[in-house]
């Protein structure tokens, strides 16, 4: 038995004009074209590599030499056995609950993905939320009575809601007969997030992948509907804060520009794996053409069907404009405002403390939030520098 028999081949649902496949080896997944898979089949069926190469050459009618076939094996197949370090999505990550811990809940909740139930839940949440924004008085006003206990309660609510969100992804995996990983905490760019490893969903078709990716929002909508109904009945300000925080979180989650759920949903709708890199390669390709340099690759845009081409082109333009806006305007603006306001706020804090007075909660909140955001930016920059150093070496 050769080591190639341990590689599992799955069809990959995408918008590519030519059929692509998914190679699975030790919980890692790789995209491959049909010629590579055809060669892998020979390697799996023949007892030796030499016999497999000879059989492949005969099948192709002498189109390739033994040396060329060997180069294909070394370039596209052998790296599967040596690339054991998973590419990091997060600047920092730490598993909080193991897959077996999550299994106890996801197994029991796998039944919730009936299409009529999902449709009704999304429709009801949309109706109630619209009514909330139309009728709620003083929607964005925050009471002066908000104290540290209120903030701690809102933070606890956000964490619980995030766990429910991740449980939705895990339960959807179980619904489609797939395994999921544990739930963990990570830092993506300068955003603290919870995550669930659902890599196995690449085995599914595009529609089912979309369901797994929207499942977190779907589970959170049950919380949102309950909060909205309670708010309409009682009208407490704390409920209004919780609803607004959840709505903001859902909008952030569905943002297609960062690698949150919205990004993966757009990736599945367009049928374009590795969507972010596909959008960046377009600009590298056009830059080469403008500079009259030969491009060493063919952009994915030229390999997919016409309908998805327009979607990928629009996404590439919008996402690169957004990223430029975020990194070239939002972050520099924050740093400028931090330098302008933080020294005065810090001086005010010292003045309160030196006079044995309790600082206002609003002042403490501003200082803590600014320091937290700044520390995340610094961590992001440090990790980017380390990554660049590794690539240079």
Per-residue confidence (pLDDT) for residue 13, from 0 to 100:
85
Quote the tokens at residue 98.
Answer: 């193991």
- Dihedral sign computed on CA atoms, order 366, 368, 369, 371: positive
Where is pLDDT greater, at 158 or 293?
A: 158
pLDDT band at 160 (very low <50, low <70, confident <90, very high): very high
Q: What is the pLDDT of residues 25-72, one digit of tens each?
A: 877 788 888 888 888 888 888 888 888 888 888 888 878 888 888 888
pLDDT of residue 175: 94
Question: ∠ CA 288-291-293 to the nearest 5 degrees?
Answer: 55
CB 298 within 8 Å of CB 286: no
Where are the chain's structural domains? Answer: 3-82, 92-269, 275-392
Contacts of 277 (CB under 8 A, 6+ apart): none
| pLDDT tens-digit map of 297-316 | 777 777 888 888 888 888 88
Residue (of 199, 8, 30, 219) closest to 111 by Cα position: 219
Of 187, 250, 197, 178, the C-alpha closest to 219 is 250
Contact criterion met (CB below 8 Å) for 221 and 151: no
Tokens 């600082």 identify what position? 359
Which alpha helices (H) appear in 254-393, and where do they start and end?
261-270, 275-290, 306-325, 331-354, 361-392
Q: Is the pLDDT of residue 126 over 60?
A: yes
Q: Report residue 387: phi and psi, to 5°.
A: -65, -40
d(CA 42, CA 333): 57
Residue 92: HSE in the Cβ half-sphere, 13 Å Cα cutoff: 14
Q: What percent of the chain has pLDDT over 70?
A: 89
Query: With 70 as the cut, is the pLDDT of residue 151 above it?
Result: yes
Nearest CA-CA partner of 351 in 334, 363, 369, 337? 363
Task: Give the span between the Cα atoms of 41 and 18, in whole angstroms.
Answer: 18
The residue with tokens 């069809």 is: 11
User: Which H or E run contains 94?
Assistant: strand 92-97
pLDDT at residue 135 in the model: 87
Tens of pLDDT, residue by residue over 237-274, are 888 888 988 998 899 899 888 888 999 999 999 888 88
Task: Report CA torsion sign: 89, 95, 101, 105.
Answer: negative
Q: Which of 3-12, 81-90, 370-379 has the lowest mean pLDDT?
A: 81-90
Beta carbons of 212 and 173 less than 8 angstroms apart: yes
User: Using CA atoms, how far apart are residues 55 and 51, in angstroms rounded to an integer?
Assistant: 6
pLDDT digits (tens, 9 = 90+) for 180-222: 999 998 877 667 788 898 988 988 999 999 999 999 999 999 9
pLDDT at site 72: 85
Mean pLDDT of 374-388: 68
Q: What does the block give as tokens for 278?
A: 């596909």
User: What is the 8-class DSSP label of residue 87?
Assistant: P
Q: Check: CB of residue 331 under 8 Å from CB of residue 376.
A: no
């Amino acid at each position: 038995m050769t080591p190639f028999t341990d590689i599992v081949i799955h069809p990959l649902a995408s918008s590519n004009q030519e059929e692509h496949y998914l190679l699975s080896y030790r919980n890692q997944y790789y995209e491959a074209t049909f010629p590579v898979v055809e060669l892998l089949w020979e390697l799996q069926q023949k007892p030796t590599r030499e016999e497999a190469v000879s059989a492949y050459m005969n099948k192709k009618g002498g189109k390739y030499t033994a040396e060329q076939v060997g180069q294909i094996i070394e370039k596209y197949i052998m790296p599967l056995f040596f690339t054991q370090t998973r590419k990091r999505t997060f600047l920092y990550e730490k598993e909080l609950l193991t897959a077996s811990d999550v299994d106890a809940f996801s197994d029991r909740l796998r039944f919730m993905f009936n299409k009529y139930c999902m449709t009704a839940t999304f429709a009801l949440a949309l109706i109630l939320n619209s009514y909330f924004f139309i009728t709620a008085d003083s929607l964005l006003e925050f009471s002066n009575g908000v104290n540290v206990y209120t903030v701690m309660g809102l933070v606890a609510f956000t964490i619980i809601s995030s766990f429910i969100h991740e449980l939705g992804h895990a339960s959807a995996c179980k619904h489609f007969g797939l395994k999921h990983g544990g739930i963990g905490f990570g830092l993506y760019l300068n955003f603290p997030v919870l995550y669930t490893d659902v890599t196995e969903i690449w085995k599914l078709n595009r529609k089912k992948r979309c369901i797994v990716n929207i499942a977190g929002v779907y589970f959170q909508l049950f919380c949102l509907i309950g909060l909205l109904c309670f708010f309409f009945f009682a009208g407490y300000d704390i409920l209004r804060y919780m609803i607004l925080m959840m709505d903001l979180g859902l909008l952030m989650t569905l943002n297609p520009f960062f690698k949150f759920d919205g990004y993966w949903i757009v990736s599945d709708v367009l049928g374009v794996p590795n969507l972010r890199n596909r959008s960046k390669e377009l600009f590298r390709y056009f830059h080469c053409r403008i500079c009259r340099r030969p491009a060493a690759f063919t952009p994915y845009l030229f390999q997919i069907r016409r309908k998805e081409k327009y979607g990928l082109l629009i996404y590439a333009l919008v996402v690169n404009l957004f990223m430029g806006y975020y990194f070239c305007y939002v972050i520099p603006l924050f740093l400028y405002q931090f330098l302008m306001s933080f020294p005065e706020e810090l001086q005010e804090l010292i003045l309160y403390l030196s006079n044995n007075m309790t600082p206002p909660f609003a002042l403490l909140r501003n200082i803590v939030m600014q320091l937290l955001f700044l520390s995340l930016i610094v961590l992001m920059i440090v990790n980017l520098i380390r990554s660049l150093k590794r690539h240079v070496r």
